[in-house]
A and B are shown apart, each in its own frame.
Chain A
Amino acid sequence: MLYQLSWTILFAPLLAFAVIIFGTRVWDLRSRPKVALPAAEHGHGEHHTDDHDTHAVTDEHGHGGHSEQDEDDDPHVPQLSAGAKASAYAALVIMALACIYSWVLLFSTVLHPADLAAAGKEVFAYNWLSVGGLNYIVGFHLDRLGIAMMVVVTTITFLVQFYSQGYMENSAGYARFYAYLSLFAFSMLVIVFAENFLVIFCGWELVGLSSYLLIGFWINKRAKPEEQRPSPASANLQAFIMNRIGDVGFILGIMILFVNTGSFDFIAVQHGVVHMDKTLLGIAMILVFCGAMGKSAQFPLHTWLPSAMEGPTPVSALIHAATMVAAGVYMIARTSPLFATAAPFAWEVVASIGAFTAFFAATIALVQSDFKRVLAFSTISQLGYMFVGLGVAGPEYGVGPGMFHLFTHAFFKALLFLGAGSVLHGLHHAMHKEVQDVRLMGGLASKMPITAATWLIAVLAISGFPGFSGFYSKEEIIGLALEQGHPVIYALTLATAGLTAFYMLRAFILAFGGKGGKFMGLWGGPYRGYGEVKESPLYMTIPLMLLVIPSVLAGYWTGFYQYVNVSAENVANLSIPALFQATDTWIGVIVSLVGLGFAWFLYGRVDLVKINQVVQSNAALRTIHRILFNRYYVDDLYNWIVKYVVLGLAALAQAFDRYIVDGIVNGVASGVTGTGSGIRRLETGRVQSYMIGFFGGVAVLAVVFVVLITTVWK
């Protein structure tokens, strides 16, 4: 019963979405003062308040302590209405219940593993369509892998929603924001619960839609070319389209599997692929992996993730920790029995792309000056680790290492993003504009101690500092790469570990510390911005403090590998003593410590301006910096491709369409017109010429008939 009713977790966020959209948000909009039209005198002509709210328009500026110079593009209301607050409470209460339920499920399955069969349990099935012998079932099932993921999704979503009460204060789109967050959680849970490829694909697209809505939440915000930042409206499009590119592969992969096994169901496909050609299966799985590459932002489909930073920061936290990018990793874990059956190159491709992406993104993150963008690239890098973990683990470990890193990373990455949001929120209030550039931060630790402390813990976790959760998941993956005989991947991941430690502490010191701060510049120091920065409200700091707990302790769940195991064989569990005894663990730790130490040494003791001067004065360093800063020009390459190749082909196609297709069509049309205007002369309008035609036809037919019956039919 406990397990059978778990579908309520899935539908709870959908319920919240419906309640908000059809109930409380309408209440919110109705209660707003009615103003004739959006105020054009505000200087930003295209500004509207909330997106579709034409009947309720509020003043955008000059409220809630914002001055007229406030460059915020998020329209505000002076005071949240009861409807808006009710929206948040509805979403929060429902998500809290779902969260508690999923934690109950987690503890129940950990304490009584026998209660839920390893293969899972179908909790909801609706026969959507029966064609021939095929049943297309909207089916959801519950297993331990799903429960682990569900806990992450519901917990992070709940904390993000809680946090958004502070971050989104007085936003005109408050109710809408909560509706979208709920929809996002629902979409992800569809993926988590999915029983077959069709349902997972539906969830996949729902996630794409939700992320589209949320990344573009601030629809009025404009692009900032000087900071290389796109507008949210184009960033969400980029995310959507990038994902479509990956989805093409995903669909093709699903089709190949379907054609060869005749089913969409994971278990049936798993049984069916045994007889399939291993190479073909490998190709199918790589195509499926393409979908994961899009969703999880792996090279070369990674560029949408940094652009997605244009969304509100809680959304970034959600995307990066629990809902969007985790979907790709989760899907690969879900289909891992198929990868295991396929030719070995399938896993190798996954691991190689993961390793390359990890290193690639880490190098970019080294020089980014945008606070959130550093985190974006660190996410890409960490997702690379997860794919390496899935790719190299082999049957002894199953999906454990990859999923474990997903699990721990979700918490500390959520913490990092929510902390970053707290910083941006504080700076926004101080400077009355949106600031994300670390060059305008510095020394914030003494002003925002809670944010700084929690952030530092998250930095240590992501850097793999011994004792923190990231250490257990990441060192295990790096160690596995060596153990399973992938020296190149090992080298890349090891180097990435050092880079990660470096750029994370660099970001920390640039934001919170600086030359002159305590502990050799680690804590406090000169503030490069202006205005009075204050610690964020409790709404925002409570989730940070709560997230510290799993960020540290999640790594001590040693039974995780076996818990999430989806293959038939038992797998080895994480052994902490063995981990501490292994040499390569300590090599990894040393590399991380070197990275941390170097960052501390460099940015804690030297002024940022001076570092920049040094970099700019050295030709080689300058070139490297420029390449990295421009993200290897991948975005520019894509822009170039779109501009010249895609648009060129489009122009060709257009020319073909205009001159050949249209030519044929118009030719036919003008031919018909010409023939018609010729033939219409036969239409004299005189009834007797029509009679000639009619009776002439009768006569001809009669004569033909007579001829036929006298000759042929006789």
Chain B
Amino acid sequence: MDLATLLFWIFAVIMVGAALLVVGLRDIVHSALALVVVFAMAAGVYVLLDAEFIAIVQILIYVGAVTILVLFALMLTRIEGQRHTNPTNKLWPVAAVICVAIGAVIVYAFSESKHAVSTTIAASDVVKQLPNNVVRIGQLLYSPTNYSYVLPFEIASLVLLVAIVGAIVIGRED
């Protein structure tokens, strides 16, 4: 077992545990903190998978922005005198069965797939010789002439603009 695999396992176990805490804790603020752990571990996994840029973005946006947003929302929607701020409804047994079934089928599908990827070897050596990950993604996102994602990128910026306006319109007090 090499170092990468070991780290992956550590990250994965912490991540799944934190995710379970997110859905399991009774206090929603604790859940939100567990969510931070999930996001951070995901960033670690991205680093292992040679996606440094995404790992950084993950930290910035999820751990930084989204978590703060969630915490602000929690603060603004606090209900006085409520002890269990993160309750569960009566559907949980059904939901559990459904989730286990879906998860099992997904895992089964991996193992039975004709494109079974067990033999796939990480091409990390090759990747190392390429321009680094951030440069590559920048080229893909911004190159006006080559094969690139300029148009979707611009559209994404538009989506963000609309989301900003929408959030302000919806959230403001009239």
Contact = CB atoms under 8 A, between A and B. Distances in A.
A–B contact (CB under 8 angstroms): yes
B98 A692 contact: yes
A702 interface: yes
Contact of B94 (A696, A702, A703): A696
Contacts of B102: 695, 698-699, 702
B89 interface: yes
Nearest to B100: A699
Given A706-B108, A709-B112, A696 B98 contact: yes
A570 interface: no
A583 interface: no
B105 A703 contact: yes
Contact of A702 (B95, B97, B105): B105
Contacts of A699: 97-98, 101-102, 105
Nearest to B101: A699
Interface string B96-118: 01110110010011001000000
Interface string B75-105: 0000000000000010100110111011001
B105 A688 contact: no
A706 B105 CA distance: 7
A702 B97 CA distance: 13
A613 interface: no
Contacts of B94: 692, 696
Contacts, number: 28
A689 interface: yes
B102 to A, nearest CB: 5
A315 to B, nearest CB: 75
A696 B102 CA distance: 9
Nearest to B106: A702
Interface string A677-714: 00000000000110010011011001101100100000
Contacts of B95: 692
A689 B95 CA distance: 10
Contacts of B97: 699
Interface in A10-47: none
B87 to A, nearest CB: 13
Contact of B101 (A688, A689, A692, A703): A703
A613 B91 CA distance: 104
A345 to B, nearest CB: 82
A452 to B, nearest CB: 97
A700 to B, nearest CB: 8
A239 B109 CA distance: 80
A692 B94 CA distance: 8
A695 B91 CA distance: 13
Nearest to A699: B101
Contacts of A706: 105, 108-109
A689 B89 CA distance: 11
B98 A688 contact: no
Nearest to B102: A699
Nearest to A710: B112
Contacts of B89: 688
A705 B101 CA distance: 12
A698 B106 CA distance: 11
A279 B161 CA distance: 87
A572 B25 CA distance: 117
A707 to B, nearest CB: 10
Nearest to A689: B91
A702 B91 contact: no
A705 B91 CA distance: 25
A702 B99 CA distance: 12
B126 to A, nearest CB: 35
A688 B102 CA distance: 17
Contacts of A709: 112
Contacts of B112: 709
A698 to B, nearest CB: 6
Interface string A213-251: 000000000000000000000000000000000000000
A250 B30 CA distance: 91
**Which of B97, B105, B112 has the most chain A CB atoms closer than 10 A to its own CB?**
B105
A699 B102 CA distance: 5
B108 to A, nearest CB: 6
A696 B94 CA distance: 9
A38 to B, nearest CB: 60
A370 B102 CA distance: 95
A695 B94 CA distance: 10
A709 B108 CA distance: 11
A695 B97 CA distance: 11
B115 to A, nearest CB: 15
A696 to B, nearest CB: 5
A692 B91 contact: yes
Interface string B103-142: 0010011001000000000000000000000000000000
A709 B113 CA distance: 11
Nearest to A700: B101
A688 B91 contact: yes
A706 B101 CA distance: 11
Contacts of A692: 91, 94-95, 98
A569 B169 CA distance: 96
B89 to A, nearest CB: 7
A480 to B, nearest CB: 95
Nearest to B97: A699
B43 to A, nearest CB: 28
A709 B98 CA distance: 20
B116 to A, nearest CB: 14
Interface of B: 89, 91, 94-95, 97-99, 101-102, 105, 108-109, 112
Interface of A: 688-689, 692, 695-696, 698-699, 702-703, 705-706, 709
Given A698-B102, A702-B105, A703-B105, 17 more contacts: A688-B89, A689-B91, A692-B94, A692-B95, A692-B98, A695-B98, A696-B94, A696-B98, A699-B98, A699-B101, A702-B101, A702-B102, A703-B101, A706-B105, A706-B108, A706-B109, A709-B112
Closest 7 CB pairs of A and B: A702-B105, A699-B101, A699-B98, A699-B102, A695-B98, A696-B98, A706-B105
25 contacts: A688-B89, A688-B91, A689-B91, A692-B91, A692-B94, A692-B95, A692-B98, A695-B98, A695-B99, A695-B102, A696-B94, A696-B98, A698-B102, A699-B97, A699-B101, A699-B102, A699-B105, A702-B101, A702-B102, A703-B101, A703-B105, A706-B105, A706-B108, A706-B109, A709-B112
